[in-house]
């Protein structure tokens, strides 16, 4: 359980502030995260990492000479937004290209991908390598679907060492991919974690039991078993990780060289880890594996979760040299970095100048529409506040349980900025674009990316000068539907928000075309979305974190679809009130 915080909503920002104050030798704060406070005398390919907060020392703790150049740091257990990633990239790149590397989670893939496209438009050669080391998140034949956990360290370190050695972007990407292909991790957990301000853990494990394969955000494991002895846990790890299906292609255990990383997930202490590692080392040696530079400690935590993971990094000559190369960061140090090879970076180095906070010109009709949109966003905030616990509960069945929290952060941020902009006379497009950006920034994660995209797309169709007619609104929502499906690659039937968004958008467009008023058409569309959301209880998920544990979600609707339907109904009340007033 966590005990120390000021405002839970600002906890992640407060963490970054204190982390930078404590580690100014290595890092400086930039919008969206941290970047190195020093730079090598010769330009390097920039390795930019990142993910949600709550996993220290991943990700900020791994920024420094010989390792990462910058880290985008999102809200607790939520991916950083595209704007945050882009900011860190621009503050860290040195003209030789950028490698983005991070765990394979839907929200991170969406946000880092959008940032990559944004900087590529400015001529920055930006590549991506996903970390996919968790053996229980997908079968061996589908390694590209696996999520990234403590194996992040081996990929980040290899890429950072290659950059420090002067490798070009092609070779930094090559060795990062090679490191990922040779990294396997298995994790277990004994209890869940409690986020700041929460009254209960984000997820639970039954007393006296151990979840095998449980994810670092609380994604369900593959099975529950009694808690073994330390030796029994070591034997479980080695049995799975040295199994033939999990040995990387071309590797035979006997005679191979491997870096073992035994990782504590938050509240399992070093003394316990050492007891487990003694048996791990024995078993590896009995299998004829040569141990190289073993690591025991905390490298990727899950706030205060009680859990342990074992990573095996199978080396070749080049990967071993890069792994053993010097690195100096707040949380990982090896060898000796020559301080004469470094120069201090100015605090504003690489940062873009702040844009003036001016509003584009807007028409009176658009300003009236913007005021109604602001009222709708406030209604959405209130609806999500009331439903957040239930949304979290159904998300925890086969996901990580934070959908309600993320939606709360997003709707609160969007409503606040919309209210301010409406009072200042913003048009509909400007209000929706900025509210969408704020939702994306503050919520992070998949829902933040998607809802930010929805608001921005609708805003593009409404404009700042035109009247927000029913036809224009329906057209904007249809365009948002298409944008979400193209962006997230989900289809109807995958048990996602798309299952309620598609019938909502299609029904709204059809009823408006038939001559219904916006309020009448919206009600019919909200009914369609609600029915579709309820029907997702009968579906198996085809996308996202829940995909690997789909059977657990049978009988439970998708939280993203439910929250969209809930929002649609609450917005209808605002439209109905406006129609009555008119």
Instruction: For residue 499, give the CATH number of its domain.
Output: 1.25.40.340
Beta strand segments in 304-349, E? 306-314, 327-328, 333-334, 342-344
Instruction: List the Cα angle 546/118/465 in 5-degree steps.
Output: 100
Q: How confident is the model at residue 547 (pLDDT cuts 50, 70, 90)?
A: low
Q: What is the pLDDT of residues 463-514, one digit of tens each?
A: 999 999 999 999 999 999 999 999 888 999 999 999 999 999 999 999 999 9
Question: With 80 as the cut, is the pLDDT of residue 135 above it?
Answer: yes
Residue 534 CB burial class (10 angstroms; 0-12, 13-18, ≥19): middle
Stated pTM of the model: 0.88
Domain assignment present for residue 358? The answer is no
Assess whether 310 and 389 both reside in one domain. Answer: no
Of the candidates 362, 382, 564, 376, which has an alpha carbon nearest to the alpha carbon of residue 473?
A: 376
Domain assignment present for residue 418? The answer is yes
Residue 578 has a pLDDT of 81
Assess whether 324 and 381 both reside in one domain. Answer: no
Domain assignment present for residue 334? The answer is no
Assess whether 129 and 195 both reside in one domain. Answer: yes
Assess whether 125 and 219 both reside in one domain. Answer: yes
Assess whether 325 and 371 both reside in one domain. Answer: no
State the CATH number of the domain containing residue 156.
3.40.50.10440
Domain assignment present for residue 341? The answer is no
Of the candidates 70, 39, 68, 107, which has an alpha carbon nearest to the alpha carbon of residue 452?
A: 107
Q: How confident is the model at residue 184 (pLDDT cuts 50, 70, 90)?
A: very high
Q: Which of 81-95, 242-256, 394-408, 539-553 has the lowest mean pLDDT?
A: 539-553
**Domain with 440 in it:** 364-581
* One-character DSSP codes across 224-272: EEE---HHHHHHHHHHHHTSGGGSPTT--STT-EEEEEEEE-BSS-HHH
Assess whether 151 and 91 both reside in one domain. Answer: yes
- CA pair distance 495, 97, nearest whole angstrom: 37
Q: What is the pLDDT of residues 27-51, one digit of tens each?
A: 999 999 999 999 999 999 999 999 9
Assess whether 268 and 387 both reside in one domain. Answer: no
Assess whether 241 and 386 both reside in one domain. Answer: no
- The one catalytic residue in 217, 461, 549, 572 is 217
Domain assignment present for residue 484? The answer is yes
Assess whether 485 and 546 both reside in one domain. Answer: yes
Q: How confident is the model at residue 10 (pLDDT cuts 50, 70, 90)?
A: confident
Active site residue 69: no
More confident residue, 299 or 201: 299
Assess whether 325 and 394 both reside in one domain. Answer: no
Assess whether 295 and 148 both reside in one domain. Answer: yes
Number of domains making up the chain:
2
- CA pair distance 534, 555, nearest whole angstrom: 10
Residue 442 has a pLDDT of 87
Mean pLDDT of 418-429: 96
Domain assignment present for residue 349? The answer is no
Domain assignment present for residue 156? The answer is yes
- CA pair distance 268, 252, nearest whole angstrom: 32
Name the average pLDDT for the chain. Answer: 92
Assess whether 378 and 305 both reside in one domain. Answer: no
Domain assignment present for residue 337? The answer is no
Residue 397 has a pLDDT of 81
Q: What is the pLDDT of residues 155-164, one digit of tens each?
A: 999 999 999 9
């Amino acid at each position: 359980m966590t005990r120390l915080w000021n405002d839970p909503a600002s906890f992640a920002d407060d963490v970054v502030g204190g982390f930078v104050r404590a580690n100014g030798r290595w890092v400086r704060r930039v919008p969206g995260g941290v970047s190195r406070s020093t730079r090598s005398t010769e330009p390097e390919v920039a390795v930019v990492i990142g993910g949600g907060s709550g996993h220290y020392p991943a990700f900020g703790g791994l920024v420094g000479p010989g390792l990462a150049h910058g880290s985008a740091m999102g809200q607790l257990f939520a991916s950083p937004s595209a704007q945050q990633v882009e900011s860190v990239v621009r503050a860290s790149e040195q003209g030789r290209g950028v490698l983005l590397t991070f765990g394979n989670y839907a929200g991170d893939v969406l946000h880092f991908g959008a940032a990559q496209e944004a900087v590529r438009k400015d001529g920055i050669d930006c590549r991506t390598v996903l970390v996919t080391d968790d053996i229980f998140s997908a079968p061996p034949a589908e390694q590209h679907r696996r999520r990234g956990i403590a194996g992040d360290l081996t990929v980040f370190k290899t890429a950072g060492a290659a950059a420090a050695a002067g490798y070009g972007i092609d070779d930094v990407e090559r060795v990062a991919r090679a490191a990922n292909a040779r990294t396997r991790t298995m994790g277990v957990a004994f209890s869940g974690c409690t986020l700041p301000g929460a009254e209960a853990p984000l997820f639970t494990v039954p007393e006296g039991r151990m979840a095998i394969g449980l994810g670092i955000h609380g994604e369900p494991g593959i099975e529950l078993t009694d808690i073994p002895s330390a030796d029994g846990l070591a034997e479980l790890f080695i049995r799975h990780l040295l199994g033939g299906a999990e040995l990387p292609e071309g590797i035979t255990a006997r005679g191979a060289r491997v870096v073992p990383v035994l990782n504590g997930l938050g509240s399992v202490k070093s003394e316990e880890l050492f007891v487990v590692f003694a048996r791990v080392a024995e078993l590896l040696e009995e299998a004829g594996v040569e141990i190289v530079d073993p690591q025991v400690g905390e490298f990727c935590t899950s706030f205060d979760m009680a859990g342990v993971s074992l990573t095996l990094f199978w080396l070749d000559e080049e990967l071993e040299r890069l792994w053993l190369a010097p690195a100096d960061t707040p949380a990982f140090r090896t060898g000796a970095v020559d301080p004469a090879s470094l120069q201090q970076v100015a605090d504003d180095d690489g940062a873009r100048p702040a844009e003036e906070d001016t509003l584009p010109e807007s028409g009176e009709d658009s300003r009236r529409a913007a005021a109604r949109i602001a009222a709708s966003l406030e209604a959405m905030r209130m609806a999500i506040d009331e439903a957040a616990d239930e949304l979290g509960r159904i998300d925890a069945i086969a996901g990580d349980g934070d959908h309600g929290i993320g939606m709360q952060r997003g709707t609160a941020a969007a409503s606040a900025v919309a209210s301010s902009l409406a009072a200042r006379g913003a048009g509909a497009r400007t209000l929706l674009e900025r509210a969408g950006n704020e939702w994306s920034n503050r919520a992070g994660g998949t829902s933040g990316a998607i809802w930010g995209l929805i608001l921005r797309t609708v805003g593009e169709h409404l404009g700042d000068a035109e009247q927000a007619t029913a036809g224009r609104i329906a057209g904007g929502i249809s365009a948002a539907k298409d944008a979400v499906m193209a962006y997230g690659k989900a289809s109807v039937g995958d048990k996602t928000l798309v299952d309620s968004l598609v019938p909502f958008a299609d029904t709204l467009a059809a009823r408006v075309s038939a001559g219904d008023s916006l309020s009448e058409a919206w009600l019919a569309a909200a009914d369609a979305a609600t029915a579709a959301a309820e029907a997702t209880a009968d579906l198996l998920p085809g996308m996202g974190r829940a995909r690997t544990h789909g059977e657990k979600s049978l009988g439970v609707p998708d939280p993203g679809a439910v929250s969209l339907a809930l929002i649609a109904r609450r917005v209808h009340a605002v439209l109905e009130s406006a129609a009555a007033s008119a």
